[in-house]
Amino acid sequence: MATLKELEPKAKEILARERTAYEEKNPKSRAAFERYSRVLPGGVSRTLCYFPPFPCQTVSGEGCFMVDVDGNRRLDLFNCATTLILGHRPPAVIKAVEEQLTRGTAYQTNSGLETVLAEMLVERVASVEQIRFTNSGSEGTMMAIRAARAFTGRAKIAKMEGGYHGSHDCVEISVRPPAGAGGPAERPTPVVGSAGINRSVLNDVIIIPYNNLEAAKQILVAHAAELACVIVEPILGSVGFVPAEREFLIGLREEARRLGLVFILDEVQSFRLDRGGAQKLFGITPDLTCFGKIIGGGFPVGAFGGRRDIMALFNTATGSGTIPHAGTFNANPITMSAGIATMEQLTGSVYARLNGMGDRLRDQLTALGARRQVPMYVSGIGSMFKIHFSEAPIRDYRATLGSSSLMHTALFFFGLNRGIFLSEGGRCCLSLPIGEPEIGMYLAVVEEFLTALAR
Ligand SMILES: Cc1ncc(COP(=O)(O)O)c(C=O)c1O
């Protein structure tokens, strides 16, 4: 097996060559970028959408493919950051949205559609008795945390090192702390995610190492008197689809119960794993759950829900509601109609198909790495996966610091020039229209890349 150190010079060469080829093949995207950079800082409205030298501009999506302004057609293996579980423009969703468009796009009252989508989610997710919709996953986690604070009367939150829960201040802590900045691995210190987040927020956030139950318990016990909640993803998304180990998640849930903390499961991404969410797969019952992505059928969405006694904090009808929850476009009928049509498609056999395809793919990628003698660890669960160019297994955020981001970037451009769209960080997910030919196409490109690396 080659070492990363031995392979990186070759990866650098490949990256330089592929980036140049990308620039040559995408002149219209470059021109578009120059134009929109004048009015949009960095040319985008989402940091994740930028990559140097310029991102390609998408003009359409169909099924599992996207077409850019230069006419390049690529297999979409990121699906708007896991959102498009049915792929681009699924006919049933488009039909539902078109019908709703003829009736209106935003009302000041319940459209009836939000009741239907809420009923569907409550029926699917055993722990969710009541739910509220938002416009993004970030707002969902923000409101869930606010509810936990109000319910317990305590101020602090515990989150995982490497955990991502959106863009509000108290969760933008220790998402990707630079190497050496986060203190001891067993007892991480909180690190602000960027300028503009008040350092005072650090006082309210306790950091837990993922997949380390003993350390997590000690930290929770030490801070229990001031903690409102613990918030956790069943699979660390931003770190590169690193799943929780079952004992860790179950143990954390139990410890939160024992200490009287609200246990919030962030299923914004993991809800694509099972009809009942990752909580069904892991066999846990959170107090609150956050949703986003797939439940809006490709339109802006988020939600939070769970125990009736906690959700009662929002119930202004009975007078028990003490937390106002605003949002002009919350539960707008376009999103709701797309969400309902999506949920209708998502039967047990659809999840089984997607998850089975993911399991096989992870095995095939691992075998490829071994055959080509490239150190690769393929993480993920169900339809989400990532190749970590790493000499060690990846169980938590710290482990990713030893992997090669240069090799990811080289693979990303290699893919772009051969009809595959990954995320630049290497995270991938599958959508329903993907079949064996597309999987074969992706594997062939990865194999070609690994062969070029080892040459
Ligand atoms: C686990 C998790 N929580 C919350 C969010 C925030 O959702 P949104 O981007 O819709 O605000 C994301 C987004 O990627 C996420 O992956």
> How far from chain centre, in Å, is Cα 447?
26
Check residue 28 and give its pLDDT.
98
In this structure, the residue with its CA closest to atom 7 of ligand 1 is 137
Check residue 455 and give its pLDDT.
82
For 203-222, how does the pLDDT look when each residue is reduced to its tens digit (9 = 90+)? Answer: 999 999 999 999 999 999 99
Q: Is the pLDDT of residue 175 over 90?
A: yes
Residue that finishes a domain, picked among 325, 345, 365: 345
62 forms beta bridges with 65
For 8-39, how does the pLDDT look when each residue is reduced to its tens digit (9 = 90+)? Answer: 999 999 999 999 999 999 999 999 999 999 99
What mean pLDDT, rounded, does the chain reach? 97
Q: What average pLDDT does this structure show over 424-452? A: 96
- CATH number of the domain residue 116 falls in: 3.40.640.10
Cβ distance 75 to 419 under 8 Å? Answer: yes
In this structure, the residue with its CA closest to atom 13 of ligand 1 is 166
For 186-197, how does the pLDDT look when each residue is reduced to its tens digit (9 = 90+)? Answer: 999 999 999 999
Check residue 434 and give its pLDDT.
98
CB atoms within 10 A of CB 40: 12
* Pair 52, 99 in one domain: no
* Pair 307, 391 in one domain: no
Check residue 119 and give its pLDDT.
98
pLDDT tier at 122 (50, 70, 90 boundaries)? Answer: very high
Q: Is the pLDDT of residue 319 over 80?
A: no
CA distance 422 to 384: 12
Range of the domain at 401: 4-85+348-454
- CATH number of the domain residue 372 falls in: 3.90.1150.10
Distance 63 CA to ligand 1 centre (A): 23
Amino acid at 448: E
Among 49, 145, 167, 268, say which to mutate for ligand 1: greatest number of ligand atoms within 8 Å of CB. 268
Provide the whole-model pTM: 0.98
Any ligand 1 atom below 6 A from CB of 164:
yes
- Tell me if residue 164 is catalytic: yes
> If you write DSSP's letter for every residue of 133-155 in order, what string do you get?
EESSHHHHHHHHHHHHHHHHT--
Residue identified by tokens 């003698």 is 373
Is the omega angle on the peptide bond into residue 53 within 30 degrees of 0, that is, cis? yes
What total of structural domains would you count in the chain? Answer: 2
- Tell me if residue 204 is catalytic: no
- Tell me if residue 210 is catalytic: no
